[in-house]
């Protein structure tokens, strides 16, 4: 089963992706947070994150967010210029600023602009494209009515997070909608949304056997579940680290080694405690550790205090 690490802006930067790949692995592709155009330019900060040198050896897919063919072409030019031949298009982002600009799940309201993007993809046969989408902004019909254009795109797969954009992260993933998209889509499908463990992902796919053509489902993409338990792609099971037996459990080894890398990088490249700490808080924010320990880390306002709080986690 194909396993992808979802893009999570503010969390899964190149350093995090590399730390996960080197300390855990078991992931087929790591998606970068979206590269975007801001003030008429491709954001430099985003291009630093997709810098091939920073991602060397890590199976990475750069993602773009675009409002139409023109932006899409410029973003592809920038990434292809860096040497990429694999690009993912974001048609799912629910952030109001992006949606208002007709990007992310907002793009699903403009089939003519999706068609421009489709034509742009056809002009670039050297690139393997994929699409990551929601079921619509306000209604599942919006996504479904774009399927004929998406079917005409040259794609390696479509990742579907079966929620509407306007739902943000509320409510349950809409499995009936996922089934309908599987039927309407000619490409392989990757399921995304609320997967907390690999076993869970596998089970979910097996349970669909009656409802959908499982040959069409390539695998799963996991986001918050992997931020919470980064070890799940290496050690089977979903046990929270702190519920495991004392000692150097695989989950704690993973946390310790990932943290060492992220800590080293943050202290070597960022200036001042507050910058370093805000990068480090992101590592802990979603992690499945006891509430009290997490609170102590998030409350640490200096690096010495932070180190003390982290030492408690590892001593247990």
Residue 109 gets the label, from left (phi > 0), alpha (psi -120 to 50) or beta, of alpha
Q: How far is the CB of 94 from ligand FMN (least distance, A)?
A: 8
Task: List interacting residues with ligand FMN (CB under 6 A).
Answer: 6-10, 33-34, 63, 90, 92-93, 132, 161, 192-195, 222-225
Residue 217: phi and psi, rounded to 5, are: -90, 115
Nearer to ligand FMN, 93 or 235 (CB): 93
Q: Which is nearer to ligand FMN, 167 or 188 (CB)?
A: 167
Choose between 195 and 255: whose C-beta lies nearer to ligand FMN.
195
Nearer CB in complex with ligand FMN: 142/249:
142
- To the nearest whole angstrom, how small is the minimum distance from the Cβ of residue 294 to ligand FMN? 17
Q: Which is nearer to ligand FMN, 92 or 165 (CB)?
A: 92
Place of tokens 């993409």: 221
Neighbouring-strand partners of residue 128: 86
**How many residues are recorded in the chain?**
316
With respect to ligand FMN, which residue has the nearer C-beta, 78 or 249? Answer: 78
**Closest to 68 (Cα-Cα) out of 129, 8, 109, 123:** 109
Measure the CA–CA gap between 130 and 155, rounded to whole angstroms. 5
Q: How far is the CB of 190 from ligand FMN (least distance, A)?
A: 11
Structure-block tokens of residue 279: 């990068």
| Exposure on the CB side of residue 208, measured as CA atoms within 13 A | 23
Smallest separation (angstroms) from ligand FMN to the CB of 36? 9
HEC string of 200-242 equals HHHHHHHHCCCCCCHHHEEEEEECHHHHHCHHHHCCCCCCCHH
Q: Cβ 126 to ligand FMN, closest distance in Å?
A: 23
Whether the Cβ atoms of residue 226 and residue 3 lie closer than 8 Å to each other: no
Of the pair 10, 52, the CB lying nearest ligand FMN is at 10
Supply the minimum distance, in Å, between the C-beta of residue 31 and ligand FMN: 7
Query: What's the closest the beta carbon of residue 302 comes to ligand FMN, in angstroms?
Result: 26
Tell me whether residue 175 or residue 303 sits nearer to ligand FMN (CB atom): 175
Concatenate the DSSP letters of all residues of 62-81 into one string: -EE--SSHHHHHHHHHHHHH
**Contact present, 128 and 86 (Cβ < 8 Å):** yes
Query: Which residue has its beta carbon closest to ligand FMN?
Result: 223
Quickly list DSSP for 72-109. HHHHHHHHHHTT--EEEEEE----HHHHHTT-GGGGGG
Instruction: Give the nearest distance from C-beta 270 to ligand FMN in angstroms.
Output: 20
């Amino acid at each position: 089963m194909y396993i992808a690490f979802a893009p999570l802006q503010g969390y899964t930067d190149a350093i995090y992706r590399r730390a996960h790949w080197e300390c855990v692995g078991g992931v087929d592709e790591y998606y970068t947070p979206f590269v975007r155009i801001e003030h008429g330019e491709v954001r430099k900060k985003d291009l630093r994150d997709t810098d091939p040198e920073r991602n060397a050896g890590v199976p990475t897919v750069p993602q773009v967010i675009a409002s139409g063919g023109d932006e899409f072409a410029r973003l592809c030019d920038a990434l292809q210029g860096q040497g990429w031949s694999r690009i993912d298009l974001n048609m799912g982002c629910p952030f109001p600023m992006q949606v208002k600009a007709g990007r992310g799940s907002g793009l699903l309201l403009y089939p003519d602009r999706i068609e421009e993007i489709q034509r742009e993809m056809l002009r670039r046969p050297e690139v393997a494209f994929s699409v990551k989408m929601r079921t619509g902004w306000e209604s599942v019909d919006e996504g479904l009515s774009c399927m004929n254009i998406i079917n005409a795109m040259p794609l390696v797969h479509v990742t579907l997070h079966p929620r509407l954009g306007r739902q943000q992260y509320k409510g349950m993933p809409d499995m009936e909608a996922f089934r309908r998209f599987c039927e309407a889509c000619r490409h392989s499908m990757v399921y995304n949304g609320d997967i907390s463990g690999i076993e869970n992902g596998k089970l979910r796919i097996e349970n669909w056997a009656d409802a959908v053509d499982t040959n069409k489902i390539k695998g799963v993409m996991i986001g918050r579940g992997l931020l919470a338990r980064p070890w799940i792609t290496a050690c089977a099971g979903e046990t929270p680290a702190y519920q495991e037996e004392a000692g150097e459990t695989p989950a704690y080894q993973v946390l310790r080694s990932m943290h060492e890398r992220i800590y080293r990088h943050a202290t070597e490249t960022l200036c001042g405690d507050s910058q370093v700490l805000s990068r480090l808080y992101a590592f802990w924010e979603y992690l499945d550790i006891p509430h009290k320990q997490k609170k102590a880390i998030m409350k640490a306002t200096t690096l010495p205090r932070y180190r003390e709080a982290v030492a408690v986690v590892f001593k247990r």
